Amino acid sequence: MKKELIRWYKGHHRELPWRKTKDPYKIWISEVMLQQTTASAVVPYYEKWLDLFPDMKALSQSSQQEVLKAWEGLGYYQRAINLHQAARTMCRKNVCTIPDKYEDLIALPGVGPYIAAAVLSIAYGQPYPVLDANVRRVVMRLAGIHGQFSRRTDKILFGRIKAIFPARNGGDFNQAMMELGALVCKPRNPACLLCPVQRSCLAFQRGEQEVIPTPRKRSCQKIETVVGVIRDGRRYLIQKRPPQGLLAGLWEFPGGKREKGETLRAALHRELREELTAEVKIGRRLLTVRHAYTRFLVTLFAFECELISRPKFRKGSPRWVFLKAMKRYPFPSGSARIVRFLEDTESRRERSRLTG
């Protein structure tokens, strides 16, 4: 089975930029970006990241704001913060490079068993099998194991994968398994007739490939937030989120969650009073944005606001920022959509001014 798998991988894998290198820093960045995001979505982020931070030293010398800005849109912002902290940790020790020992690597912020195994096997050729969602699904189907992904099944899957893991070129084997899961052994409609390991697959032999693994039912909490787009001449008011917790360190328009039974406008008045000690006149609704996070479905309502009293900036770090300067600030997706909306509106206004 190993031979067929590796032969298939060599002939069919996608040409992705991180597959052209063995540089541990670049492999590390790609693997962190690839967690729960598709390869095609990662490519532009990966290339931009390496332009900005070509090596660990450059990353360690950048500011957290620059790092978050480069990550903007990828989600899971704590991962970017962890990359930055890990680079600083290593460079402080005067070893501006990725450790090649499991214990040293896993001690870095944000490095778990998956990242450690992927980096050590792909960059350093060490025999560590990876177990991501794609590999889990492939192994469960190959071995005909029913059920959902869980810690208990992980133990069994690790045992199975270790039994077939090659003594050499473990990085190729890991990448081949992940690629098979991404391209052939997909969650729905696996392409079994094109699969290089079909003859070794118990799920296929039993016709069970569509029912393994059992899909996990995820509950998704719905949240409504309301924000004020407050303008002072050509500047807008934005503020930084707290350094800990969801979307830590990103910037946003002031506002917050709508409480049960509250109207959107009442919620916005309350939030702005609490956050900025400011009274505003709420104007028209500018935009409604929906965005899905892993466990939340957020609907964000943005209203144009006019200040009645000057804000006192009691909490956080609100700042008046020109629209052109917003590109220096990292925003979560919802707020980034509002910024794009304001830019479009401003350029339309500018065009109509020029054409009279």
Out of 43, 156, 183, 192, the residue judged to bind ligand SF4 by CB under 6 A: 192
Under the criterion CB under 6 A, does residue 140 sit at the interface with ligand SF4? Answer: no
298 CB contacts (<8 Å, ≥6 apart)? 223, 224, 225, 290, 291, 292, 334
Out of 91, 138, 177, 238, the residue judged to bind ligand SF4 by CB under 6 A: 138
> Footprint of ligand SF4 on residues 200-229 (CB under 6 A)?
201, 203-204, 209
Show the tokens assigned to 46: 């990966």
Separation of alpha carbons 196 and 1, rounded Å? 8
Q: Which stretch binds ligand SF4 (CB under 6 A): 171-179, 199-207, 242-250, 286-294?
A: 199-207
Out of 30, 121, 134, 198, the residue judged to bind ligand SF4 by CB under 6 A: 198
Task: List the x/- string, 159-188, binding to ligand SF4 by CB under 6 A.
Answer: -------------------------xx---
Confirm if 281 and 299 have CB atoms less than 8 A apart.
Answer: no
Size of the site for ligand SF4 (CB under 6 A): 14
104 CB contacts (<8 Å, ≥6 apart)? none
> CB-hemisphere CA count at 13 Å for 289?
21
> Footprint of ligand SF4 on residues 31-70 (CB under 6 A)?
none
Residue 293 identity: Y
Q: Alpha-carbon Rg of the chain, whole angstroms?
A: 24
Separation of alpha carbons 37 and 119, rounded Å? 17
Q: Which stretch binds ligand SF4 (CB under 6 A): 80-88, 102-110, 136-144, 167-175?
A: 136-144
Nearest to ligand SF4 of 183, 286 (CB atom): 183
31 is catalytic: yes
Give residue for tokens 């309350």: 270
Longest dimension (CA), the chain: 74
Residues with a catalytic annotation lie at 31
Q: Which chain residues interact with ligand SF4 by CB under 6 A?
A: 138, 141-142, 184-185, 190, 192, 195, 197-198, 201, 203-204, 209
